[in-house]
Structure 1
Amino acid sequence: MTTATSTQRTRRGTQWPASNCCCARKKEPDMQRTIRRDELRKMVPLADSTIYEMERRGEFPKRFNLTARCVVWDLAEVEAWIQARKQASLQPAPGPDVRQRRTRPVQTVAAT
């Protein structure tokens, strides 16, 4: 029966270092994968204007131009943002302050 250790592998009586094994070879650096707007929309269900506003405030990964007419986002950054949002405990948004309305102002009831 063939047995293997972390430093050697044995096959039919031949020994070679584990570094020669295909699973131990150094991986080539991954290419930075980018996504276009239509794929981003499938991943992040927010309106374009919301995404752009969040980008401006620094709350969402920045897009960059590949060409003059092609805008993309880094997939790893978007996935990291999604993971961070999943792990963050989001506080519910506060209700609107009705006292600041310009139309239909809140009427105060006089105390009797």
Structure 2
Amino acid sequence: MERRGEFPRRFNLTPRCVVWDLAEVEAWIEERKQAPRKDISGPDVRLRKTRPVRSSSD
């Protein structure tokens, strides 16, 4: 999402630590809240390579 420009860019705080601008992230969250929801469907289960197994403790 960040590479596609759909999320705020990170920046280096130190050589081993990256951070995001809080105001930009909060604005992104508000944008997402206001955007109309698309009909989000789950993944096509027919394309799964494995089938999930329910544990016996359920």
Partners of 2:48 and 2:23 in 1: CA distance: 44
* Aligned positions, number: 48
From 34, 40, 45, the equivalent of 1:87 is 34
If each structure's helix is expressed as a fraction of its own residues, which one has the higher value? Answer: 1
Q: CA deviation at 1:57?
A: 2.0
Matched residue SS, 1:85 = helix
Structure of larger gyration radius: 1
Percent identity of paired positions between Structure 1 and Structure 2: 69
Question: Scaled by the length of structure 1, what TM-score is found?
Answer: 0.37
One-letter identity of the residue aligned with 2:2: E
- How do 1:37-76 and structure 2 match up within 5 A? 54-76=1-23
**Where does the alignment leave 5 or more consecutive residues of structure 2 unmatched?**
50-58
**Where does the alignment leave 5 or more consecutive residues of structure 1 unmatched?**
1-53, 104-112
Comparing both chains, which one has the higher relative contact order based on Cα–Cα distances under 8 Å and sequence gaps of 6 or more? 2
